[in-house]
Structure 1
Amino acid sequence: MQCFTIRICTKDSGFALNEISHGIVADLGILQRLSKQTQNVSLLSKLALTADEFGINEVIELGLCSRGDVKESLEDGLRYAMTFAGKIAANPHWCVSGVKECIDDINEGNLSVEQGSDKAIWKNVNHMGSKL
């Protein structure tokens, strides 16, 4: 499963985990994904159990967005995203997908660090071999 790896928000972004207020348990994996991505399970539980709306400060506290990726406006956010995307796109496609795959493998618990390192070495050697 590949999750969003980079999140860009604006200062006025609003969020909610409001399924509970509709009488349902969030059932599309959001609770499972967020609980793996945050070290602040207490805050996550509070927000999910109360259905309170929350803003960028809580998103940063949950670790779901970096402070440097919070922009003033939608236009600033879009400009930043395009610049960021251009930097990523300038790298070899096989490297970009390989880096994402390596990070996802470790975060999802699919591979040990040693297995992940071996897989990265295999990808590098395999790709370099096709260029020789």
Structure 2
Amino acid sequence: MSFDPKNYAKYEFFTISALSEGVAHVQYTNPKTLNAYTNQNWRDYGEIMTRLDKEEDISVIVISSGVARAFSSGLNIKEGAMTMKFDGATEKERLAKFEEFIVEFQNACTVPARISTPTVGILNGINYGLAIDLASAYSIRIGVEGARFSIAEVNIGIAADMGSLQRMPGIVNNKSKLFQHALLGDVFDAKEALEMGYLSTVVDSVDKGLELAGAWGARMAQAPQWAIKGTKKHIQDILSGKSTDEGLADIAKYNAENIMRVMKL
């Protein structure tokens, strides 16, 4: 069955469309909260990404914001973990339940890194807290002029726990800057994010970002999908901790199987 955006109509605040042939576009638009995420929102996000990865005619997923002022202002604290109710559970049971909640949240944020479909994020306006967690799992990040970034969790008294601290060390080229921004919870701009290697490029507007992502996506869609998805997977494997030797062994098996299949050897 071919990709049909209508199948994704149930997700509140998310609009799913085709940016170009083979390129899905996920847009999150919740201006009232500057694109903060409730528990339902991040669960929907993880489910959408998982479903799109299974669409046979989707080669690339582009993620953007429909809010001019923000990609995301982070987690909606009023409806997040702080509102959990434990209903008389013991301390051990409360701890286990809270840890289970955090792991579920992490798994939703991790979906773009885990799936085989490449992802491109267009990061505009405010990118605080959870926004960095989400974007750090993307294959490619495009910044928009005026974008502001913050690993902001220390400002509310917690350590970032949704992936920023685990993924950014493998992404950025300036570890001192990473420590600085993570420990201070301060704000840095798109130019600095580009210099750190967090962004691929910076464009003038979200529309320009969509144009660029669409062009890149169209090129990827024209290539054999086993090659594109295999390339994404094997880079991600190294970022996720596999050794060079393990990566070489995996790609040898992967290419041998696929080349033989394609060439009917």
Residues 68-125 of structure 1: per-residue CA shift (max 9 Å, x gap): x21111111111111111111111111111111111222223132x442332232222
Q: Which aligned pairs between 1:6-25 and structure 2 lie closer than 5 A?
A: 6-25=140-159
Write the distance in 1 (CA, Å) between the matches of 2:195 and 2:205: 20
Q: Which aligned pairs between 1:89-128 and structure 2 lie closer than 5 A?
A: 89-112=221-244, 114-128=245-259
Confirm or deny: 8 A CA contact 2:153 2:160 kept in the other structure.
yes
Matched, 1:79 2:211: yes
1:65 alignment partner in structure 2:
199
Q: Which has the higher helix share?
A: 1
Deviation larger for 101-110 or 19-28? 101-110
Matched, 1:30 2:160: no
Write the distance in 2 (CA, Å) between the matches of 1:75 and 1:107: 30
* Gap runs ≥5 in structure 1: none
Matched, 1:88 2:220: yes
Q: CA deviation at 1:61?
A: 2.4
Write the distance in 1 (CA, Å) between the matches of 2:165 and 2:252: 34
Q: CA deviation at 1:19?
A: 0.9
- Moved >6 Å (runs of 4+): none
Q: CA deviation at 1:128?
A: 2.6
Identity over the aligned pairs, expressed in percent? 31
Structure possessing the higher relative contact order (Cα contacts under 8 Å, 6 or more residues apart): 1
Write the distance in 2 (CA, Å) between the matches of 1:124 and 1:89: 19
Q: Residues 22 and 97 of structure 1: is their aligned pair in 2 closer, same or farther, counting only changes over 3 Å?
A: same
TM-score normalised by length of structure 2: 0.45
TM-score normalised by length of structure 1: 0.86
